[in-house]
Structures are given as structure tokens and as C-alpha cells.
Structure 1
Amino acid sequence: MKEKKPLIYLNNAATTWPKPPAVVEAVTASLAAPVFGAGRTAGTEGEDYPSLAREALARLFHAGPPEHYIFTQNATDSLNLLIHGFLAAHPGPCHVLTTALDHNSVLRPLHELEHEGRISLTVVPFDEDGTVSPAAVREAVRQETRLMVMAHGSNVLGTVQDVGAIGAMLHEHGVYFIVDGAQTAGHIPVDLGTLQVDAYAFTGHKGLFGITGTGGFYLRDPDAVAPVRVGGTGTDSFSLLQPREMPEKFEAGTPNYPGLAALAAGVECVLSVGTEAIAEKAERQTAMMIRTLKEEPNILVHTAHPALPIVSFSVTGMDDDDLGFVLARAYGVVGRTGLHCAPLVHQAIDGGKGCVRLSLSWFTTDDECRTAARAITEVARHADHSVDSA
């Protein structure tokens, strides 16, 4: 029987694996004990996981109060609630900005709203280095611009945007600024106490090492966004209107207690390591992989200098799905292929064909990086380069 290759999991930009032991233990403990939730039980024993998670996030992002961290299903859910909630709180004509780097979690809600005639939309392009310049954003601002929604980090190119400078400029023009931090939370230092960002969306199952079905957003001014999902909160139940206190204003229904137990434990793991150390290791490992891949002329690397642990590439003469299949089956290297829910990025870098993306985590080893790079090089050398992969 043929020996099975050891698994090299490099799809962490989608969902991190493995999870820290503390995360697995926290989920197990939460399921082994009765649920403890303020306003939802008369019990006094057990962990208040929502509060633990809020407090950990406030320390990670250097901004409070903890009650301004709202929990949702994921970053996509957060962005939808923020976008629709902002429009509900600010009726009337609205011009919105986003970027060609963005994920469909931003692009689809905004294009649906444009299709319905509720907003006008401008998509700001990115430069050759994979960044959106503050100058390009400034040029796109109009008198009727009320909102900008953009990704902090690209899930394809691994570049990080200067949301500090962009936010400062937008605020000079009275534009509300929502940032998608799905790819940056836990991977690089993020100081929401100093960044001029009005709302920051995150997800639990990527760089924060939590499990799927968790996410949330930080909201600086609760009055700037209206609640668009309402229901039971366990508090002020005589009122038939949604409470306006935080976090109840935006959280309806029973929370995902096991998920929030995992999120609290995952954030604590990030805090114990430090985002500076995480970012430094990622930069070193991606640079090492890219150097190896660039030695093979049949490999086109799309991530020149990623600030995030992402390496995207194509091989001449091979479809990206075929390439991903060979890497997984023959070498045990698991990445992701296709358009990565970022169609405008791929229109710019590969004509919309798609590519292979390998994404690392804190638990990825140097040996795994070297083995994966060698596997890609070996496949590229044996590909039929006379065939156009289009």
C-alpha cells in the first residue's frame, strides 16, 4: 500500500487549523457545563463567555469599552449588519466607496444595494503593489459620499491597507468608515484606539483561532448605526422595542456560547504570543517560500511582498484547480484554488482565471513551508508549458 503523505494544511486564510489546545478545551468545558447567561438563567455558576470574549478583544485591539464589541456569525454577517444599519440610520441619497481589493462579503451587499437603487457606488482601484492609495480614495469622494467600506488586508495578495491615513482623510470629509478586518485580526497589530475607523468587523475562525460560526464588530459610536436584527435579549423584556444599551442593541437571540468560549480562548492565545511575533514569523516564512518559487520560471507569484501570511501563484500550462488537486493528492499540501471570493482582484492579476493560494498560521512550521515550496516547484517543472491555461 502506498504510504500516505503527511497533511500540510495551508488554507488558514479560510479557516485556521489546528486550533490551540486551549481552544479545544474551552469548547469542551462550555459544553460540559450548564449555560450561564445574564438574563437567561437563574444560575450563578459557570463562565460568562460573552464577557470574557469582549474583554479579551478590548485588550487585543486596544479599544473599549468591552460592551462595544458585538458578536455575530462571522465577518460577512457583521458587514451586512453594519452596512444596512448605517443606511437605516442615515436615510436619503448615499454615495458609497469600496475597493477592487475587497471580498464578496463587501462587494455583494453593496452591489445589491446599488442594483436596488438605494445607493450609488464607486469601486476604487488598487495600485501595482496591491494597495489602495489614500490619494485614489480622496479623488473618489463626492459631496454626497456618506460611507466607505473596505478590506484592511487582501485575502489574495496579502497586502495591508493604510486604513489610518484613509480614515483620517475620510473623516475630514464627514465619511463614515467601516473596515473589514477578517484577514488582519490576530495576524498583525491593530490599534483601534488610535486608528480613525468607525467600525471594524472581524471573524472568529481565522487569525483569532476560534471556531466557525463566530465573529463580530467593534463600533465606536453606537448611535451611528441602527439595529436591523431585533428580538429577545433577556433584558428589559417589557419593552416591545429593541434595547438601546450596548451590546443588547445589536445582539438578539441566544448567543453561541461554545463559539464565544473558543473565541475568548483563541484571543488569549494571540495575546500570549503577541501579534508582533506572529507578524514577524509570517513575513519571514512567506518571504522564504516566495524566494523558492521565483527560482522556477514557470511559476508566477502574485504576492510580491505580502504583509499577511499569504502566497498566491499560478503555474504556466496548468489550470489552478488541477494544480491544487495534484498538490493535495500527490504531496499532501492543502491550499485553496479559484477566485477566493475576490473577483475584482483576479480580473486585475490573472484575467479572472483564478490561482492557487497557500496561507499560513502561527502553527505552520518552516519544514512545512520548504516542503510545500519544493512540491510546487516539482509540479511546475513537469507541467505542459506549451498549453495555455486559459
Structure 2
Amino acid sequence: MTDAASFSDPHNAFCHDVSVRLDGRPGGPLDGLTFGAKDLFHVKGVRTGGGNFDWRDSHPPAEETAWAIETLVAAGATMIGKTITDEISRGIFGESAFYGTPTNPRAPGRIPGGSSSGSAAAVAGGTVPFAIGTDTAGSVRVPSSFCGLYGIRTTHGRVPVAGMLPQAPSFDTVGWMADDAEVFARVSAVLLESSIAAARPTRIFVAEDALAVAEPATAAAVEAALIKAFGDGTAIERVRLSPTGLADWSSHQAMLQGREAWTTFGEWIDGTNPRFSFEVADNFLRGIKASPEELAVARETREQVRERVHTLLADGSLIALPTTPFPAPPAGQKRSTMWGLRTGIIALTAVSGMAGTPQVTMPFAAVDGLPVGLSLIGAPGTDERLVGAALDAARRGARV
């Protein structure tokens, strides 16, 4: 182990109150690569901070190292530090009340997105070629979109979450991000324990209701990026995902996620009375308030979402949508303004969250020079195909 402050961190991406370095095993498929790990992943003998000093100080050092970290180190990658996260992964903007907000290297003066904010800033700023994070309601996909990176939310249950601080277990997934498609594919092969082959999809459904959630300029940029990346040789059709609207789907995810998060952290909150930012505290309060009847409806809705989405994807088709409804918003805005922005973001990220499907976001679109992601969703277990589609498009020059 070494001091995390011993390397340059110009974008405030790393937790400098924790010292950790795990050298990769020589000769592996990731030999020579370095990475950062969101401070929700345990490293044996080190306190997992979870983005909140009160959590860090009230828990002992970890007794195990997370499966994802051990697997990457065994494959030759060297972990150089823990990266900043929104508190207990309960934010979506990447703003940290405890560590300070990581900067967005691709959109100066704008937020990085969260909750895997430090991981995204570290990769986009070139400190490391890849980083790992968690994705419950968009925590890898959103910062990847805002920072112009390749990122993946894996099929729920596909990658072991052992040694990872949970939030809402029926939504929690391991994810990762990279600036280079080839590196993204190499890391994906290791963590998916599978081979990755570049391949163009045969059919893609464009989600019209997702485009409608996005700002017009973003919707136009993402559609143009889709045609550039996959228009030659892939059948592209338009479809509406939800009969009731994506905001309805996302409201039910928020209810289920909020209750699960309270189940995970409620006893600690009651006993510790920890400090929280406004957004995180509000998220927990909404989780407490959900009634049994409301939760029953939300669970029924999730089953309906899964049936709808899985049916569309059953023959190997993919769904395309904007990863976020707009590029990274300016930093330092009012809380009421940011809360309104959250609604549109979660409306898009809840599709995969409710369906339990994998989603890859690709840095193929931009609005006024600011990155915004194009996403592909596949059937459960088709993570490799999504990475392969991103790799194929990148090799053909799809990146902006």
C-alpha cells in the first residue's frame, strides 16, 4: 500500500484520506493498466468510506477485498486508490459535501455526474485508463455520459457484488468505465469472465418515449450518432417502451429503491444521526414514507416492465436511447433546480434498472461540444454483445 496523495490528482477524483495500492499480477491480460475503485468496494484492512465521513468513522476496516478488485488485480491491473462517490451512492450528480465535487475534465465548470463521480473524473482526466463503480439507478451510466466515456451497467446478478457496500440489492450492479473502446473491451472480458468479439447488431429499436424525455438538441444528436454508428447494416425501427410513460416506471423504481436503501442503512441512521447532503437526506425520507400498498404496486409494475422489455429483446434485438436527457449541467446550481433535472435523468436510467438488463453507454454524441452518451440495452446476460457492438462502432469511427 502507498499514500493515495503520492500521484497527481488534478480533478479531485480520489479519496486522499485513504492509502491503498494493490499491484497487479504480472503477465495478465490487464498487465500495465492502472485503475481506481469507487469507495464502496472493500479493500481488506482499509475502511470503506462510502462518501460519508460518519459512515467511515463508525465502521471498522474491511475484512475482505471485493471480488471485482481481486479479479482485476489477478488479471494484472494495479489499483492506485479509492475514488470519490456521492454519499452511500445515493446521489446522481456527483457532488460531494465531504470531499468536494470532482471536476468534469470534458465539460469544465459542469458536474461530473454520480454517484461514481470520482471514477469518471479519474478516467476522463487521464489519471487512470479505467475505473470501476456501482450502478443502482444510473451511477455508472450518468457520469459516463456527462464525462464522455464508455460505461456499462451489467445484467443484475451477472458480476458478483461480494465485498461491495450495498444500497438497494435488487437494483445494485457492478459497472466500469473507460476512455478507450479497446481498454473497455479488455476490462469487460475479465470482469464478465468471457470473450468479447466486435460485432454489429442486426436490429435496434429506437425508444421514442426516451427521445421525448431528452432535450431536443440531445435527442437529435443521439439519433444522428445512432445512424452514424449502426445505420449501415443494422435494421433500425422506432418503438414506444411504456404505455404509461417512462416517468411512471422511474417513480416506481425510486419507491422500491428508496425502501431497500432504508432497509440497508436505516438502523445505522437511527443510531448515528449522520450528516447528509439535502439530496441524500431527501432520498432516504422518501424511502421511509412508501406504504405497503404503494410498494406492492411498484413490484407489480416492475414485473410488467420486465415482461415488456424482455419481449422486445428476446430475438437478440437491442434498444437505443439517450443515456441522459442533456449534457452535464453547470455546477453550483440551486437545489430546487437540480431536483428538477434529476427527474428526467432517472426516467431514462430506470428502464434497465427495472428490467434488470445490461446497458452500455458510448461517447458518440455531443451538444455544443459537450458529451452526451448513446446507450444500447440488451437482454439479460448479453453484456458481451453490447460491449462488442460498442467496440465495432468505435473501430469504424463512431466516436465524436
TM-score (normalised: structure 1) = 0.28
**Which protein has the larger Cα radius of gyration, Structure 1 or Structure 2?**
1
Say which structure, 1 or 2, has more relative contact order (CA 8 Å, 6+ apart): 1
